Amino acid sequence: MQISSCCRFQRTSGTKNTVNCLYCFTRAHTVVLPHRGHVRVEPGPRSFCLLPNPKRKNTHPTLGAHYRPGMADDVLTWLLDSDPALRWQVERDLAGEPEPVWRATRARVATEGWGARLLALQDPDGQWAGGAFFPKVHGEVQWPAEGEGQPWTATTWSLAALRDWGCDPAALTDTADRLAATCTWEYDDLPYWGGEVDVCINANTLASGVWLGVDVEALAAWFPEHQLDDGGWNCEWVEGSTRSSVHSTLNAVRGLLAHEVATGGSDDLRAARHRGEAHLLARRLTRRLSSGELLEPCLVPPTAPSRWRYDVLRALDHLRSASLLDGTAPDPRATDAVELLRAGRQPDGRWLQGPVQPGAVWFPVDVPDGEPSRWVTLGARRVLEWWDQA
């Protein structure tokens, strides 16, 4: 059978009649494309790539029973029609573009669209909105009025956005040094890169620190020192809480993973991360351990940006990244969360935006509640393809 030129294959050098699939980078297996049926090459380690199971008419491992030929292309085209901050991730994780292609798109984040716009809003002293976690005006913290919600414009949230968008840290030049000299936390006026007492804040600071090349080893060591007996973390530990929070625990393991990716980590930090992940998996990412009831954050669809908040997509996205780093298979205890995420798929293959957190933003980067969300769809597709291909 002749392989169509549109199929995302590359010939394996020196190996006759075998190809690599650029969707999942495995060799010599059945590759199925939505608009060309399927092409079988020599049997390999996977039974499918991304697309329909030939044994089940009009089904798809990720798009499911609503699948129709061409749908995956429709959604992919829609996802690619986006800001460079989102597009490069679609190119790398869903479209299977060669590395030079997605890296070229990623390089545009600092000079085009959201990334360039947010960089332009940086204060001369390296901060955003004059403060570490909350905006400040003339040195006075601008606490939100009742019902206004957390403002998302200060330094911590701006750095997190640029980091998540894949902005080249070189574009921030001497930001790390300027923050070390000028930025302090609202809590006890502590220096920025040393963190403070809040787990979620420290996790974000750890991730941003290693991204910008700051020595944050003391902050990394803070996490195992403040891990609770049940394996997780709680931002309210300073008030005496001894029961972990899924919000705090997920943020902690995400921060530790970012540190490990950047530095190689250590056995102690890796063990702390694994304990935190086990805490979440013991609850199947979705339920209270005591009663089996669905966790409150799992009662609503995922939201983008999720910021500090727990949801099944954010938890699964972390497990995917951890699994790829550790070289381990997906944990079956995440099955309930996967099916909950899969259930949010709409008939057209998109996912809708969940309840958007209130609070001031520099500018919107996704849609209002209930509309098809590119960020949520990207994340859901990425997670489900990892899970379904295992």
Over the stretch 11-68, which tens digit does the pLDDT of each residue have? 333 333 333 333 333 333 333 333 333 333 333 333 333 333 333 334 445 444 444 4
Residue 106: which pLDDT band, with cuts at 50, 70 and 90? very high
pLDDT at 135 over 90: yes
Domain assignment present for residue 144? The answer is: yes
| Mean pLDDT, the chain, integer | 86
Domain assignment present for residue 243? The answer is: yes
Judged by phi (left if over 0) then psi (alpha if -120 to 50, else beta), residue 214 lies in beta
The mean pLDDT of 361-374, rounded to a whole number, is 98
E strands along the chain, which residues? 9-11, 19-21, 31-33, 37-39, 136-137, 140-141
Q: What is the pLDDT of residue 71?
A: 52
Domain assignment present for residue 173? The answer is: yes
What is the residue type of 64?
G
Where is pLDDT greater, at 41 or 354?
354
Q: What is the pLDDT of residue 35?
A: 32
Q: What is the pLDDT of residue 329?
A: 97
Domain assignment present for residue 78? The answer is: no
pTM of the predicted model, to two decimals? 0.82
CB atoms inside a 10 Å sphere around CB 29: 21
Domain assignment present for residue 133? The answer is: yes
Least confident of 31-35, 291-295, 332-336: 31-35
Residue 331: which pLDDT band, with cuts at 50, 70 and 90? very high
pLDDT digits (tens, 9 = 90+) for 152-164: 999 999 999 999 9
Tokens in use for 134? 């909350």
Q: What φ, ψ does residue 293 adopt, rounded to 5°? A: -70, 150
Residue 302: which pLDDT band, with cuts at 50, 70 and 90? very high
- Structural domain boundaries, residue 166: 103-388
Rounded Cα distance, 382 and 306, in Å: 16
Domain assignment present for residue 93? The answer is: no
Q: What is the pLDDT of residue 390?
A: 86
Sign of CA dihedral 115, 120, 121, 124: positive
Domain assignment present for residue 282? The answer is: yes
Domain assignment present for residue 312? The answer is: yes
Counting beta carbons within 10 angstroms of the beta carbon of residue 368, is it exposed (0 to 12), middle (13 to 18) or buried (19 or more)? exposed
| Number of domains within the chain | 1
Contact predicate 136/130, CB 8 Å: yes
The mean pLDDT of 96-113, rounded to a whole number, is 98
Output the domain CATH number for residue 337. 1.50.10
Q: What is the pLDDT of residue 21?
A: 36
Q: What percent of the chain has pLDDT over 90?
A: 77
Q: What is the pLDDT of residue 72?
A: 57
Q: What is the pLDDT of residue 43?
A: 35
Rounded Cα distance, 380 and 378, in Å: 6
